[in-house]
Structure 1
Amino acid sequence: MNWPGGMQRLLKLLRQQHSELREQLELGCEELKEHFQRNSKLAESSKRLKSQIWSSVVTILLVKAKDLPLAEDGSKLGDTHFKFRLGNEKYKTKSSWTERWLEQFDLHLFDEDQSLELALWNRNTLFGKANIDLSVFQRENTHGIWKPLEDCSGEVFLMLTISGTTALETISDLKAFKEDPRETQQLRDRYRFLRSLQNLRDVGHLTVKVFGATGLAAADIGGKSDPFCVLELGNARLQTQTEYKTLTPSWNKIFTFNVKDITQVLEVTVYDEDRDHRVEFLGKLVIPLLRIKSGVKRWYTLKDKNLCVRAKGNSPQIQLELIVVWNEVRAVCRALQPKEEKLIQQEAKFKRQLFLRNVNRLKEVIMDILEAARYVQSCFEWESPVRSSIAFVLWIVACVYGDLETVPLVLLLIILKKWLIRLITGTTDANAGHYDYEYDEDDDDDKEKEEKKSIKERLQAIQEVSQTVQNTIGYLASLAESTINTFNFSVPELTWLAVVLLLGAIFVLHFVPLRWLLLFWGFMKFSRRILRPNTIPNNELLDFLSRVPDNEEINQFRELPPSAATDQARNNPKKKLKGS
């Protein structure tokens, strides 16, 4: 078929445009394909993050820094903060001018993201950065790290823990764990009496087997929870994986802790995990190491945040097996040294109920002292002839034959009396740790947030003073209660340690003249800074008393029965707690 010349040119032009359009479409498809390939890793990571499929949880405690760079005028940087990055997750700390943060947070670790990035910022200026390779750190263990910064001077100290492992066949998987009798024997040999002086800082070893929990409260809309368990011993913090959509989780994990102080307590807390990585409290339990019955698998009742009544839920409990091995000589040496500082502590805000409770605690101690003074005065007044006669004879004997060793002897006799009462009755002081508790709801402090700022500014100074008075009264009450509980066998091991120390004091005071003791004491106090410049000034008596729990801690340590007889106590928090 013969086409006119114009039609042939038009047909040729259409073919050329079709060929160019086809080439453009093919090029666009290739570019789109390359775009998806470049972002496939980011899309996959984002998808995994949304579905919460991570391999471990990295807990970071930012403690402090040193030798940080100075400002242009030679002064300290006034608005320094750190930014952390792990994979697609970021965290920005608060600003600090003291080079001390004490801030704790969690990041989620994927198998392909093993590099933790941190950067030092002052306002909007980057001063230094560093990278930490997480693959070299042992899992289920807390590591203290001094990390130097790049591009500037300075080091940062942080405590890092990789736990919450979801992968099976890990070192913390209880199902894959098989106890080796040889390792168990080696562990016991490490803390036997004949090796007491080899490593005084290594007091003991704690093994915690976390099986599961039951009766937890429903934190989600569907009537379920996403619980995980956190274990804390001092500044060491480990956690289990999250079990989703259940009120009876089975974690089946085994963890180990190095015990630096046998008077420490193990804190076990159960949280609910939300999709925005926030947590909701489900229950808590504190177990003193000295009260652990090694190798006993049992259920423990979970308590509320105040550790006084049962937590919400259907009699929530957690199943644990605890094994602790420790050396007595090292524990005694550690008990007379400064207590380890707990870096992360919830700041005590001023509350009317807490203020009144501390006042009542101090009032009860003062009333006991006044009662003892009245008892002594009654002996002088001969209100009871028999009692006054005995007191008069004892006073004459003390004045004639008494010496400095009489003072610890009297204290020893008081402990002996308490021990005989405990031996005969099988109980300790019935009044220890009994209080009427009134609780504020968690949101009570936030109800007045919309008040006028001028009123807040007026009350701020009063609140600061009241908070100081409250905490001071609480400290004095706690110190007095710890002193009383030393004689009450609240912690039998510490009371027996006091007995040994008092016997030693009697022996020393009897055979060594007082002037030589005072000379030795003065020499030790004046030469301590010269001989040991890095030593921490301390008072051995106060260090020992800090290990003895006060009445509130005794009440928190008290275990609740496995099942609740009635929900009345939980519904009526003002009801007085009775001792078990």
Structure 2
Amino acid sequence: MLSVFSSPSPERNDSLLSQVRSVSEVLSQSDPPEYFQLDILLSRGENLKAMDTNGFSDPYAIFLINNESLCKSDIKKRTLNPTWNQFFRVRITADQVEKLRIEVKDRDTFSSDDLIGCNAMDLRKLNIEEENTIKMSLRGGYQEDENALLGTIYFTIKLRNFSGDGLSSDSTDKTKNKNKKKITVANAIIQILDVYDVKLTHKELPSINLRAKVEGQKYETKTKRKCLNPVFNRACYFTLMQEPNVLHKDHSLEIFMFDNKSLQATGIMKLTSLAHDTLHNMSLDLRTESNKLRGRVNLAITISGVDKASTSKMEEKFKLSEAGKIYNFSKTLSDFTDIGILKALDGAFGFGTSDPYCYVDLGNQRFRTATIDKTVNPEWNRTFYFDISDLYECLTLSIYDEDQNEDDFLGRLCLPIADMINDQKIEYRLKTKRLDNFTQGALTITCSRYYNPIRGNARLFKPKQRAYWNCEPKYTFDTFFTNVNRLKAFEMPDIAPLLALMYDVIHWKNKPLSFLIWIGTMGAVHSFEPWMIPAALVGVLVVGRMQPSLFVKKKNSTKKSSLRSENDKTDKKPNGDALSPNIIKKTKEMIKSLETKIDFIAGILEKIFHTFIWIRPAATLTLVIALIIITIVLKYIGFRVILMIWLTKKLTIYGFKPNYVDNNEGP
């Protein structure tokens, strides 16, 4: 049985309704159109026949004309009542406006897919620009009799005049794609961050792992044992593809949560609705088949289209920034978290014949260019926009050669934001993965950035954002001793002269000096005020600017560190009995934890050291200005007054504004 319910498109007015014509009338005119646009919204299936021994099927639907596939839906696992809600926009020729065949098949892994049922409808009986809701009963094979026991599918279809909107450049040339089954429309980079709100039925702590899937492409995380809030930080790279004649296709991300290899819940998200070239921080509910919540997963998603031009809100924001309407000094206090914006334009690079593509990273924002097949000098001409979260971050560009098994690394480039020159096309030589040596090839790039220096330098003294793209740290002696060497760089200054001076003062060997220091100490203790602390720090910073050598201890050139040689010795296996795997595992975990703490401490010390010797002049100058302002405030207002004002606000604000939300307090 085939039921058709026609309804005019909601955007059409009464005058257009009077112009509705059947497809057969349009085709019979003297100058018929060459192409038509077919919009299909595949909704769901109902009571499909079970084709597998487990009593279920893994159904998917195919739309065909003249036995040529137009579009194919996603596969729905273990169900007889699939819900697709998947939209397709297909370009067809006038010769193809005839019978549209719909086949529903069961996906099999080790054999050919089984046909659940099929049916057909005549497109020539439709009206142009008229939406038709179809309820179609499936029949078996090529038999003419319909068999309702095979199931029913529901979809909406509309035939329109072809406008060319949404048509990719790769699909305009039929001869170019006659041997190509699918074309790439976008690249999705999905970072699985962590799982929270886990609610499982058993009382034992779960061992959770996740599996991400997009159109047959799968990634799986490691298993986190005995943990309710596992952190994965697993990067998944998906290629979004569609048939050459398809103008638009919905792509869905499926997340499966397993506990001890047992499926617990799933979550589905449509990727098509997400804006391209933007970092999306999202949360996805994981539910059972009975719609019970079993947990939530945090995701960071970026989708990069293959088009050469990118139009988005970021582009509009960049134009406003370029005109000086966002990041000028008068707007400093309007949004203190918005530091700036960066525009990067990928050019070309010279290398051996390969299939290169480029990852462009800034902080947690990662985008990818299209792959250029078999070329020596690819030209991407791709523009990306980034939100600047740290003025002293680096824009990183990594070039890879796409292969079937594992992509080969070709070169890397790292550009500090602070050193960029606006609107200048510059060619850079590529470096190795560790950026310690040059390698073959060069990259041409044009960068422009606009930012508020006060916001940017103030952000330096806040904790860094959580890093999405850093892999889980691994235990190695290299990184451990590197961090130890970083700590060794902060040796205690030579305080012997100061101790000798203190001894002379205490013992009154220089009586006038000892008397003056005694009088000064008594006066300082008697008249101490809190504003004196930032005032003294300003003095120290000024001294660091005028005489940075006072803070830098001269190193003995003849002294060499033996840590590297010790590292080489330690990496060798001992001659004695082997340690048990459990002891080795615990030792590695302990050293990994120690290594992380050393890295954190070394990073703080480096920031303090660089601030005092003006390595980053803008940041240090910002600190000096802030300390001067604090000094003046504490001098003329008083610490007690400030404390009373702060306590009054904290204790009374919710009385006046019950719905008040503090900027520093999350939900």
Q: How would you bin the TM-score normalised by the shorter chain?
A: 0.5 to 0.7
1:412: how far off? 1.8
Structure 2 CA distance, aligned partners of 1:386 and 1:324?
61
Quickly say closer, same or farther: Cα 1:358–1:317, change in 2 above 3 A.
same
Quickly say closer, same or farther: Cα 1:525–1:471, change in 2 above 3 A.
farther
* SS at 2:537 equivalent: helix
**Aligned ranges 1:171-250 → 2 under 5 Å:** 171=310, 183=319, 188-214=324-350, 224-246=353-375, 248-250=377-379
Contact 1:210 1:321 in 2 (8 A): yes
* SS at 1:241 equivalent: coil
Tell me which amino acid in the other structure corresponds to 1:290. Answer: A
Structure 1 CA distance, aligned partners of 2:571 and 2:369?
32
**Structure 1 counterpart of 2:297, from 156, 161, 172:** 156
Contact 1:200 1:333 in 2 (8 A): no
* SS at 1:189 equivalent: coil
Q: Are residues 1:501 and 2:641 paired? A: no
Contact 2:477 2:571 in 1 (8 A): no
Structure 2 CA distance, aligned partners of 1:162 and 1:243?
18
**Aligned ranges 1:6-21 → 2 under 5 Å:** none
Q: Are residues 1:364 and 2:489 paired? A: yes
More displaced, 338-347 or 507-516? 507-516
Quickly say closer, same or farther: Cα 1:111–1:398, change in 2 above 3 A.
farther
- Hey, what does 1:283 align to over in structure 2? 411
- Hey, what does 2:238 align to over in structure 1? 107
**Structure 2 counterpart of 1:491, from 598, 610, 616:** 616
Quickly say closer, same or farther: Cα 1:476–1:333, change in 2 above 3 A.
closer
- Hey, what does 2:424 align to over in structure 1? 296
- Hey, what does 2:217 align to over in structure 1? 89
1:507: how far off? 1.4
Structure 2 CA distance, aligned partners of 1:184 and 1:274?
41
1:512: how far off? 4.0
Percent of aligned pairs with the same amino acid: 22
Contact 2:320 2:326 in 1 (8 A): no
- Hey, what does 1:70 align to over in structure 2? 200
Tell me which amino acid in the other structure corresponds to 1:253. Answer: R
Quickly say closer, same or farther: Cα 1:514–1:399, change in 2 above 3 A.
farther
**Structure 2 counterpart of 1:98, from 205, 228, 235:** 228
**Structure 2 stretches lacking a partner, 5+ long:** 1-63, 73-111, 113-176, 244-248
Deviations 1:101-123 (A, max 9, x none): 32111011113553224133444
Deviations 1:378-419 (A, max 9, x none): 333569x99998898677546536744443333322322333
**Aligned ranges 1:210-359 → 2 under 5 Å:** 210-214=346-350, 224-246=353-375, 248-276=377-405, 278-307=406-435, 309-311=436-438, 313-314=439-440, 316-331=441-456, 334-335=459-460, 337-359=462-484
Contact 1:52 1:275 in 2 (8 A): no
Tell me which amino acid in the other structure corresponds to 1:241. Answer: A
Quickly say closer, same or farther: Cα 1:485–1:522, change in 2 above 3 A.
farther
* SS at 1:171 equivalent: coil
Deviations 1:25-77 (A, max 9, x none): xxxxxxxxx9x94889789xxx9999995222111112234444422x4x477
**Structure 1 stretches lacking a partner, 5+ long:** 1-33, 174-178, 217-222, 538-580
**Structure 1 counterpart of 2:537, from 386, 395, 411:** 411
Structure 2 CA distance, aligned partners of 1:382 and 1:102?
59
> Which is bigger in relative contact order (C-alpha 8 A, separation at least 6)?
1
Quickly say closer, same or farther: Cα 1:206–1:534, change in 2 above 3 A.
closer
* SS at 1:465 equivalent: helix
- Hey, what does 1:138 align to over in structure 2? 275
- Hey, what does 1:380 align to over in structure 2? 502
User: What's the TM-score once normalised by structure 1's chain length?
Assistant: 0.66
Structure 2 CA distance, aligned partners of 1:341 and 1:161?
17
Deviations 1:159-179 (A, max 9, x none): 22111x434x54289xxxxx9
Structure 1 CA distance, aligned partners of 2:276 and 2:208?
30
Quickly say closer, same or farther: Cα 1:123–1:304, change in 2 above 3 A.
same
CA RMSD of aligned residues (A): 4.8
Structure 2 CA distance, aligned partners of 1:238 and 1:363?
38
Quickly say closer, same or farther: Cα 1:336–1:199, change in 2 above 3 A.
same
Structure 2 CA distance, aligned partners of 1:526 and 1:180?
42
User: What's the TM-score once normalised by structure 2's chain length?
Assistant: 0.58
Q: State the number of aligned residues.
A: 467
Structure 2 CA distance, aligned partners of 1:205 and 1:225?
33
Contact 2:240 2:251 in 1 (8 A): no
More displaced, 244-253 or 201-210? 244-253
1:268: how far off? 2.4
- Hey, what does 1:58 align to over in structure 2? 188
